[in-house]
Structure formats: C-alpha cells, structure tokens
Amino acid sequence: MQLVSEGREVSWSEGQSLSRSYYTSASIFELEFRKVVQNQWLLVDHISRIPKPGDFFLFDVGRENVIIIRQSDSEIGAFYNVCRHRGSRVCITREGSVKALTCPYHAWSYRLDGSLRVAPMMREGFEKQAHGLIPLHLRVFEGFLFINMSKSTPSQFETFVDRYRPWLEPAQLDKAKVVIRRNYPTTANWKLVVENFVECYHCGPAHATYSFVHDRLKLRALGAGMRSGSDNDIKKYGPILRAWEKTAIACGYPVGNFADGPDSESLQGGGRAPIGGERKTETSKGEPAAPLLGSFKEYDGGRTVAHFNPFSCLFVNNDFAVSVRFTPRSEAATDVEAIWLVREDAVEGHDYDPEELSFVWDTTLREDCVLAENNQLGVNSCVYEPGPHSYLEGRISDFIAWYLRKL
C-alpha cells in the first residue's frame, strides 16, 4: 500500500505496523486529524453527567475544546468553546450548570442552544443571528453522547449505531448512571494506543489480572473481538462458545459476534461471549458487583462488547458497564478515559462497591498506559522498523488499512 505524505511516498505492508513518522510527525497528525478523526462519531460521555438543562462539561479533542451542554429535557448541544466576538473561551470551568453561556471577557451571552442573546453596544448592522456559537454534531444513543466535528454532513448516525441496538437494549444504559470516572493520560501517539487495544497478544504477558479473569483460550480466539485471533483458536473455542450461547438464548439474551473489514466506514465490531469459567461478571472473583442492569433477569456470565470505532469501546456485563475512549491530543499525547455505569437507582456501599467494580479494567488500563508509552519511546529510535505481527494481531492490519484508506 502506497501513499504520499509530506511529499514522501510511504509504504506499508499488511502484517506489520506503520513506519516511524506516522507515530511521531506533527504534520501527519494535523493531516490525520482532518481526514480520520474529524469525520468520525466520537463517544464523549454519558447523558447522566448533565441531567438538568444548563448542565455542561468541557471536552478536549486535538487542539480543540468543546462545550457539551443540556439545552432542555430532551436536547443536548455541542459547541466550540470560542466566543464569536474576539475568540475568548466562553466557559472557563470544566463543568457546572449555567442559565446562559456568558463570555467572561465582554459578556456576550449565548442561549443554551448557542444562539447569541446579548452583545452590548454593537455597531449598526450587527446581526446577532449570524454570531451564534459554532456547533458540532451531537447525537445520543443508549445514553451515550457522540460528537462529530465534520464540517459537512457527517456519516449517518443511525447507520453508525443501529446494528448495536439488539445487543445493548437489554442493559437499558440510558437509565444507568456513571459512578466512577478515571483518566489515563498517555504520552503516546493515539494509533499506538489503538493498536494496543485491538490485539490481545499482549494480554498474557502484560495483563495478569485480565488474563486471570477471562478464559485464556477465549483471549486467544477473540480477545480483541472477531478477526483478532487465529482460525485455529477460534475452532478450538467454538464448542465452549456454543455451549454458553445456549444458556444465553435460554435467558433471552443476544448472542453472536461480528467485525467490519478495513473498507467499512467505522471499522466496527462487537458481540457477546462468556467471561469464562463460572464467572458471572468481570470482577476479580466473578461475583456480581451491582444490581442487574435494565431488563436482565439473571446472570448468564456473558459480556457484550461494542467497538463503535477505533476511538471507543463499550463493555456491558449483566450488572455493570464500562466505556473507554481514546482521544487524540497531539502526535505524542492521547487522552484515555473510562467510565463505569450501574443502574441509576443503585446505592453506593449498599448495592455496589466502586473499588470492586473498577478493579479489572482500572488495572488493565493502567498497564496499557505504560505499555503504550514504552512502545512510543522505542518507536522514536532511528533503528525502529515495523516487525512482523503474530496470529493474534490481525486486527491491527485491519485498523492500519482502514486508517490509510481514510487518510
């Protein structure tokens, strides 16, 4: 595969990662931000963070800062945090609740829908309606907020989420609440962070907790979803998966797995599989950590996975859910944030223990942060050359082919 970047022709062969400049160059970052990041639906947070009109929070992506704000009981908006007057940030605090978005500099005041309400002492001919805050596309799915920075019409949101409806409906996550939020700022290029997340080849050596909790054969067969394991391991794991699927179907829960190829719009993947052994949920001992979510009536020990695109992933157990997002900030920095959700009526201390709930993924994400940073340090070397991938890293080639096509 050949493409021209910065006047140089860059080549990539399937079965290996990219060459050094892709992980280090500021100009490639600028380019890929426009071509790859900006046109994707990016999972940002959960609706429970801003329950009342006027509630807002700020979100950083690339060099941009975005205001996410609830406008009414039914509407939520997203705006660039840039005053239309002289460009000041309009919101200074990271989150809060406001009646209007009033710029602290000259008090230009915007309604919750972004339209300009007050701009004192402007000259004749000034048109308020032409100076509202600049919006981004925002949509909500199962309680999750997604933004899209596309300057033209973004890809269909319905197409983006519809396939996940049957998988996510039982958990009713729009009626869940976030009870834990953890940040893992990572000094590494976002593509190294994503490559880490789409293969489970490293799970054995680098994630003792995760490997202890999950069935080892499953991790090899579909540890990072379909297309991430070898045909041989998938074949071996088949009987175990099919046996569990019978239980799940008996409960009325969805089963199956899927993964898009590199020609797809968002490189999606997902499905359901058992955690492993007799485990009911993804905790250290496999014992429930919170009340059953949504319409779940019993534990089938399954976990639903939704890779919406390379920038976000959602894991849903019978009793709690975790979403993880990877937000590119610069060629050398990626924000990683995870949120843990339980039923909105669950009571801390009584119904759930935050430490138990977050143990597996918090441990795993801390480990991933260190792995990605050490990967970046080595890739910076002048002797780095992409080496060959193993059987368990096929999904990286999918990701790179998808990325290069977008670029």
Point out which residues bind a copy of itself (CB under 8 A).
15, 17, 63-65, 80-90, 92, 102, 104-107, 119-123, 126, 131, 134, 195, 201-202, 204-206, 220, 230, 371, 374-375, 377-392
Angle at 353 between CA 350 and CA 357, to 5 degrees: 140
**Minimal distance, residue 55 CB to a copy of itself, in Å:** 21
Nearer to a copy of itself, 164 or 210 (CB): 210
Nearer to a copy of itself, 204 or 354 (CB): 204
Six-digit token string for 366 = 């801390």
Contact 168, 75 (CB under 8 A): no
Task: Give the separation between CA 221 and CA 361, rounded to whole angstroms.
Answer: 20
Nearer to a copy of itself, 389 or 395 (CB): 389
Cα of 385 vs its chain's centroid, Å? 29
Contact 275, 215 (CB under 8 A): yes
**Minimal distance, residue 87 CB to a copy of itself, in Å:** 4
Nearer to a copy of itself, 278 or 385 (CB): 385
Nearer to a copy of itself, 81 or 304 (CB): 81
Pairing state of beta strands 101-102 and 109-110?
antiparallel
Task: Give the separation between CA 69 and CA 53, rounded to whole angstroms.
Answer: 8
Nearer to a copy of itself, 106 or 139 (CB): 106
Phi, psi for residue 40 in degrees, rounded to 5: -95, 150
**Minimal distance, residue 131 CB to a copy of itself, in Å:** 6
Nearest in space to 135 (alpha carbons), one of 57, 58, 95, 82:
82
Task: Give the separation between CA 216 and CA 240, rounded to whole angstroms.
Answer: 12
Task: Give the separation between CA 158 and CA 108, rounded to whole angstroms.
Answer: 36
**Minimal distance, residue 220 CB to a copy of itself, in Å:** 8
Nearest in space to 62 (alpha carbons), one of 83, 35, 86, 85:
35
**Minimal distance, residue 388 CB to a copy of itself, in Å:** 6
**Minimal distance, residue 194 CB to a copy of itself, in Å:** 13
Beta bridge partners of 147: 42, 138
Cα of 121 vs its chain's centroid, Å? 44
Contact 43, 325 (CB under 8 A): yes
Nearer to a copy of itself, 200 or 305 (CB): 200
Phi, psi for residue 72 in degrees, rounded to 5: -160, 180
Nearer to a copy of itself, 25 or 264 (CB): 25
Beta bridge partners of 321: 316, 341
**Minimal distance, residue 62 CB to a copy of itself, in Å:** 8
Phi, psi for residue 105 in degrees, rounded to 5: -85, -65
**Minimal distance, residue 354 CB to a copy of itself, in Å:** 29
